[in-house]
Amino acid sequence: MSSNIILPPATIGIIGGGQLGRMLAMSARQMGYQIIVLDPKVSCPTCQVADQHILAQFDDQEALKKLYDLCDVITYEFENVSGTALFEIIDKVPQGNFPLLFTQDRLTEKTIINDSGFKTVRYQTVNNQEDLKKALKNIGSPSLLKTRHGGYDGKGQQFITSNADSTEVMGPSILEAFIPIQKEVSLIVTRSTQGEIKMFPIIDNVHQSQRLIESSVPTTLNLEMTKKIQEIGKGLVEAIQMTGTLTIEFFITKDNEILINECAPRVHNSGHLTIEACNVSQFEQHIRAICGLPLKETDIISNSLMVNIYGQDFEASKQALKDKPEIHYHLYGKKEMKTNRKVGHITVTSSSLDDIESYKKYFKSFLNRGN
């Protein structure tokens, strides 16, 4: 990829038309860039704010070539894009396809993380029922069986308490040890085409049934733990020579051990609060990174809480618009409000940490977090 700076009104191509692409497009358009999205859905969230929509599957080589011809730079908004499909257009994709290959396979991901000198939970590969029985003897129970490919938001995961006979192995998988944790946090790291690296403040996350329900800053971790996580984040980005945004999710165990849970080569749900909480959003920083612009410092300008709106929350969430004029209400333009499908988020900011805690109770009182 050329190190030349790409300035507005250049055209940015986005592969993937979900909410992350939508917010990338909105940020880029505010900066003066043109946007073309490639996505197979007629009314995807990103196409509603883009200049042009190429309606095609993500591995459609003719469509990818068209995107290449029309754009000055190309990015992807999620990791389930075919890494091999990008070969013909790779010189306009600053992120390259390695981050996709790195994160699309849980086994590859954990292997690279461990080989780079960082820790994950204990795991073992599982391809069939016999493998699962052997893995359970080594890993123990309770444990989590996860498909190696395609899992997100709890999909492709099974919790195992003891008996492998009642658990169906759904193709190539890994068995992970289930470790008691005290906290889950994420770190969003951005590395530009110029090699500049900036990290957003560590974000505290709360999950339920493997789905993110809320994120907040500042973290409650102490300074020592914060510095260790930042060192890991910088080290991993440098080890894999990442360009663009890498989100790293961490487990903090009961014994204060820091483990990498998983990575995403993109902007991330937990980073939505950066739009209001920080001096620069994760979306603008990513656009700056892939276009070769200098990255901004990443500072918290306000304590903040972000809560996800899932399909079952939509009607109830509108009550917050009536009750709380100070909230920031974001909907993604999705046509169907399906259960456990992310359709929006709400962010609140306050100079008072007590206010943030009150808002957590307020949202918990009427949002249906699912099972």
Domains and CATH numbers, the chain: 11-93 (3.40.50.20), 122-177 (3.30.1490.20), 181-364 (3.30.470.20)
Phi, psi of 77, deg, nearest 5: -100, -5
How far is the C-alpha of 279 from the C-alpha of 263, rounded, in Å?
A: 24
Q: What integer is the mean pLDDT of 235-240?
A: 95
How far is the C-alpha of 22 from the C-alpha of 252, rounded, in Å?
A: 32
pLDDT beyond 80 at 369: no
pLDDT beyond 70 at 371: no
Cis peptide bond N-terminal to 265, omega within 30: no
- Give which of 27, 7, 14 is closest to 278, Cα–Cα: 27
Q: What integer is the mean pLDDT of 136-152?
A: 88
Residue 213 confidence (pLDDT): 95
Residue 368 confidence (pLDDT): 67
Least-confidence region, from 80-89, 215-224, 273-282, 346-355: 80-89
Tokens of 243: 């360009």
Is the distance from CB of 243 to CB of 255 less than 8 angstroms?
A: no
pLDDT 10s digits, 163-216? 666 688 988 999 999 999 999 999 999 999 999 999 999 999 999 988 999 999
If you average pLDDT over every residue of the chain, what do you get? Answer: 94
How far is the C-alpha of 44 from the C-alpha of 223, rounded, in Å?
A: 41
Tokens of 308: 């996800």
pLDDT band at 161 (very low <50, low <70, confident <90, very high): confident
How far is the C-alpha of 359 from the C-alpha of 277, rounded, in Å?
A: 15
Residue 152 confidence (pLDDT): 64
**What pTM was computed for the model?**
0.94
Is the distance from CB of 241 to CB of 234 less than 8 angstroms?
A: no
Residue 166 confidence (pLDDT): 67
pLDDT band at 292 (very low <50, low <70, confident <90, very high): very high
Instruction: Please report which residue ranges of the chain form alpha helices under DSSP H.
Output: 19-31, 61-70, 98-103, 106-115, 129-139, 223-240, 274-277, 282-290, 314-323, 353-364
